[in-house]
Amino acid sequence: MELNTDLLIIGGGSAGTMAAIVAKEQNPDIDVLIIEKAEINRSGSIAMGMDALNIVIQPGLSTSEQYLDSVKIITEGILDYKPSLVMAERSYALLKRLESWGIHFPQNEDEEYISLQVHAKGKFLVEMDSPDLKLVLAKKVKEAKVKVLNRTIITKLLVKEGRVNGALGFNVRSGEFVVCKAKAVILANGGCARFSLPNSGYLYGTFDYPGNAGDGYALAYHAGAQLTGFEYTSCSPLIKDLNCPLLYITLTRGAEVVNALGETLDFEYLSPQFMLNELREGRGPIFIKMNHLPEERIKEIENILFTTERPIQKRFWEERGVDFREGLIELGETEYQLCGGHGFTGIVVNERAETSLKGLYAAGDVACVPFQHLTGAFVFGEIAAEEAIKYASTIKHIELDPSSLKEEEKRLQNIIDINKKGAISVQEFEYKVRRKISDYAIPPKNETKLNQMLWWIQRFRAEVSDIKISDYHELSKFEEIRFILDCAELSVRASLTRKESRWGWFHYRIDFPERDDEKWLKHVILEKNKTNGEMKVSLRDIKDRWK
């Protein structure tokens, strides 16, 4: 299949759908195509809706400055302030846009949005009651006459004359090879949820949507874009085994966290690291306790948890025989992930969503706008569209290079062909890759341990030819393993470079246990060396407000 578009958006989740809608708003005549790995009505991390917009600066209630101060605390200073500032400044208009589309933000009796404090310096979180959020976005995409190609995985970005000019991939059901020529490309295909192994041992039991295998990080890296924040390997305390979220929903409504000794944990603002520390220091298991809350509060919590984002929780608790009125909810540590929304791992972008590569923009979890959450995905979806449209209107298509098309098509065909004799199932292979990531690429880190991971990555890359691939669905899983391995290498090389400890446990180096602001108040930047194809690591100064 050969496609030709002005603007190609890879990934039709929160950021991608918003980018497509805004692009058409800006210029209805422009040709916009979303290529989505799943199906756009229910794809990305918000398939079953979301219960809050985490960052909204409401006039009279909070300021962008307060938000910047808060995010600076969380990132411990590793923050270019401009993208976060732009996000904060546009956040209220974004809420109003969503509201005009029928997304419901409940208000109290004084007609104020229900706002909760989860950050250090202000009330930025606004409750949202929207189980059908993704359906609304998908409908808007269709109304705007955006073209959508579902069930298609992108495996390569094309670059010519220093510009991204298209992408290649295949249909995960039919195997049809897809070639797409584009004037500009927006990457909006999520972080890497499938990084270390969940403690349940179930490969797909991850906190974030497991379709996010680091596709965008790997695509951007091989195309030559800069990435950052990969040493920030993070996890959260969520429902043990199920790995579904409930922290904000319960704790902002009066629930408490207690440890194994029956002590109530006392924290100034919501700190997942503080809770996880109880587990590491042997005071686990830790629990969420709600039995002191009035019935109406418990019902309110149940109503959110059992209808929005991960409604399967209802069945989980019923099967376990836990009622929030009496029982405790055990919290466990999720797998470690790499994410630009819940952390700050991602493609380097500026306040215009531009990557370091011409013609390539990034938005949402794939981009490094630290702790941007859903607000950032939407706002940077808007920005990426505005900027990409401007850029695309000034240039002509660059013809694709037929040899790179053939090369990629042949590579994919070969995986299916040569592996017919392979003996290892794709799942068994992924299990081992992620088992090794759990062994060597997550904290506590040290140089020997991280080098062990590099050894395993090389070995895995040599062994992938032993994987048995029998259909195109499995071929897509094979490609995702390739992405996961790239993410592991990016993370390990960044972790080896940052010879200090930062962000509490998440980048704790046992061989460099102290935080060292004098030397390390810098970004670790990763990119592909154009000459030898190896991973190049460099340091870059922080773009602070005062510089």
Residue 121 neighbours by CB under 8 Å, 6+ apart? 66, 67, 69, 70, 73
Residue 1 neighbours by CB under 8 Å, 6+ apart? 171, 176, 177, 178, 179
Q: Does 47 bind other proteins (CB under 8 A)?
A: yes
Applying CB under 8 A, which of residues 110, 266, 319, 534 lies at the interface with other proteins?
319
Q: Does 39 bind other proteins (CB under 8 A)?
A: yes
Q: Which pair of tokens denotes residue 460? A: 């895995």
Cβ-contact 180, 5 below 8 angstroms: yes
Q: Does 75 bind other proteins (CB under 8 A)?
A: no
Q: Does 364 bind other proteins (CB under 8 A)?
A: no
Residue 531 neighbours by CB under 8 Å, 6+ apart? none
Number of residues that bind other proteins (CB under 8 A): 33
- Omega of the bond leading into 311 within 30 degrees of 0 (cis): no
Return left, alpha or beta for 365; rule: phi > 0 is left, psi -120 to 50 is alpha, else beta.
Answer: alpha
Q: Which is nearer to other proteins, 239 or 525 (by Cβ)?
A: 239
To other proteins, the closest distance from the beta carbon of 329 in angstroms equals: 15
Q: Does 68 bind other proteins (CB under 8 A)?
A: no
Q: Does 482 bind other proteins (CB under 8 A)?
A: no
State the amino acid at position 543 in one-letter form: K
Q: Which is nearer to other proteins, 38 or 331 (by Cβ)?
A: 38
H/E run at residue 164: strand 163-171
Q: Which is nearer to other proteins, 200 or 273 (by Cβ)?
A: 200
Backbone dihedral angles phi then psi of residue 544, each to the nearest 5 degrees: -85, 170
Q: Which is nearer to other proteins, 204 or 267 (by Cβ)?
A: 204
Residue 107 neighbours by CB under 8 Å, 6+ apart? 113, 114
Applying CB under 8 A, which of residues 316, 352, 542, 543 lies at the interface with other proteins?
316
Q: Which is nearer to other proteins, 42 or 390 (by Cβ)?
A: 42
Q: Which is nearer to other proteins, 151 or 507 (by Cβ)?
A: 151
To other proteins, the closest distance from the beta carbon of 538 in angstroms equals: 37
To other proteins, the closest distance from the beta carbon of 245 in angstroms equals: 13
> Rounded to a whole number, what is the distance in angstroms from the first to the last CA of the chain?
49
To other proteins, the closest distance from the beta carbon of 230 in angstroms equals: 24
Which 243-262 residues touch other proteins, going by CB under 8 A? Answer: 243
> Which of these ranges, 27-35, 79-87, 314-322, 358-366, lies near other proteins under the rule CB under 8 A?
314-322
> Which of these ranges, 280-288, 307-315, 401-409, 456-464, lies near other proteins under the rule CB under 8 A?
307-315
Dist. CA 390–CA 184, nearest whole Å: 10
To other proteins, the closest distance from the beta carbon of 476 in angstroms equals: 8
To other proteins, the closest distance from the beta carbon of 347 in angstroms equals: 23
Q: Does 152 bind other proteins (CB under 8 A)?
A: no
Q: Which pair of tokens denotes residue 106? A: 């409940």
What is the x/- site pattern for other proteins, positions 196-215, by CB under 8 A?
A: ----xxxxxxx--xxx----
Dist. CA 77–CA 502, nearest whole Å: 10
Q: Does 327 bind other proteins (CB under 8 A)?
A: no
Q: Does 151 bind other proteins (CB under 8 A)?
A: yes
Strand ranges (E), 175-282: 177-187, 227-228, 237-239, 256-258
Q: Which is nearer to other proteins, 165 or 212 (by Cβ)?
A: 212
Dist. CA 476–CA 415, nearest whole Å: 11
Applying CB under 8 A, which of residues 93, 312, 510, 539 lies at the interface with other proteins?
312
Place of tokens 């030819």: 465
What HEC string does 126-170 produce? EEEEECCHHHHHHHHHHHCCCEEECCEEEEEEEEECCEEEEEEEE
Interface with other proteins (CB under 8 A): 38-39, 41-44, 47-48, 151, 172-173, 200-206, 209-211, 241-243, 310-312, 315-316, 319-320, 427, 473
